[in-house]
Chain A
Amino acid sequence: MRDPDQPELTAPARAAIVRDSLAVGLATGTYGVSFGAVSVAAGLSVAQTCALSLVMFTGASQFALVGVLAAGGGPLSAALTALLLGTRNTLYGLRLAPLLSWSGWRRAGAAHLLIDESTAMSVTRPSTAAARVGFLVTGLSIFVLWNLATLAGAVAGSAIGDPRTYGLDAAVGGAFLALLWPRLRDLRTRIVAVAAVAVALGTVPLSPAGVPVLAAGGVALLAGVLWRTGDRRPAP
């Protein structure tokens, strides 16, 4: 589908997008090792861990699900936390839909690859052709590597004994913080983060595991509805 309004994708430009996308894919896919190890440490089986990476395939939600289970939370609150975190992919989809302009089964297939990195590597492209290359190469390379790395981490993790000896419980906190870090870019998000921490820690003694995290989600709801000033620039 050639749109005369869009710049043509030249061979060198395509090669550059493929190269950049593969680099991101390699860097991101390999940290599936940490997910595999952490998930097994949280008490999931190797098969369950691999199923999560295959079916859910969105890192923050996967870490959240096993994190809540590891803290003793019920499966329901673990699933809800994962789904709430998954809502950001919906936003990415809304932003990418007109750019990628796929429909039918192609759209259904592409949806599975819709994650932070595939969005980042396609959303800034000047044409549909360029955006599709960035999206597919990034998404597919991460999907393949993420799942292989998950299996490797899960098998290694289940062979090493008590994961706390190796600090893997602290690794989960580090992973969440690394995912959060780039979002702490303005005062509003920092205040929401601090308030969420306070709500979560305040409700730990009062509620079953998993509930404090969901209660903190209420902070975002409240802040989003009430805090109208300083309206944001268009999201990146």
Chain B
Amino acid sequence: MTWAALLVAGVGCYLLKLGGLAVPLHVLERPVVQRVADLIPVALLAALVAVQVFAAGHGLALDARAAGLGAAVVLLVVRAPFLVVVFGAALVAALVRLL
């Protein structure tokens, strides 16, 4: 089941790329399409951050992950590279769990 889902999603992601290169321009020229398409990644990524950090089963929790996210925010504010942000968040969460 996991294999099927990841292969379908993978091929689907490829077709989404190909569709963009192949579809006539006028589809994108509708402003409402542009606005929605621009905002979808924002909404999804924000929701993924929240769920990944604050959800615990069917409840919400404030734990070491939140400390890791705080570290990520600080690193992003000082314009650290992607890898530093990711591993910085991991390091701080791991240290908080050690305490």
Contacts and interface: CB of A to CB of B under 8 A. Distances in A.
- Residue among A168, A169, A218, A223 facing the most chain B CB atoms (10 A cut-off): A169
Interface residues of B, number: 77
A170 B90 contact: yes
Interface of A: 27-28, 30-31, 33-34, 44, 48, 51-52, 55-58, 60-61, 63-65, 67, 69-72, 75-76, 78-79, 81-98, 100, 102, 107-108, 110-112, 114, 164-181, 183-184, 188-189, 192-197, 199-201, 204-205, 209, 212-213, 215-221, 223-225, 227-228, 231-232, 235
Contact of B8 (A79, A178, A192): A79
Contacts of B48: 63-64, 67, 81, 176, 213
Contacts of B47: 196-197, 199-200, 212-213, 215-217
Contact of A166 (B12, B53, B73, B90): B90
A56 B50 CA distance: 24
Contacts of B64: 167, 170
A108 B6 contact: no
A204 B17 contact: no
Nearest to A81: B44
Given A48-B6, A213-B44, A220-B43, A201 B60 contact: yes
Contacts of B51: 67, 71, 200-201, 204, 209, 212-213
Nearest to B96: A167
A174 B88 contact: yes
A168 B89 CA distance: 8
Contact of A173 (B1, B23, B32, B68): B68
Interface of B: 1-14, 16-23, 25, 27-28, 31-32, 34-55, 57-60, 64-65, 67-69, 71-73, 76, 81-83, 85-95, 97
Contacts of B82: 27-28, 31, 175, 178
Contacts of B94: 165-167, 170
The interface residues of chain A, by DSSP majority, are classed as: helix
B38 A196 contact: no
A170 to B, nearest CB: 3
Given A61-B13, A169-B65, A178 B85 contact: yes
Contacts of A100: 21
B20 A173 contact: no
A34 B83 contact: yes
B54 to A, nearest CB: 6
A227 B35 contact: yes
5 contacts: A60-B45, A78-B5, A96-B21, A171-B89, A197-B50
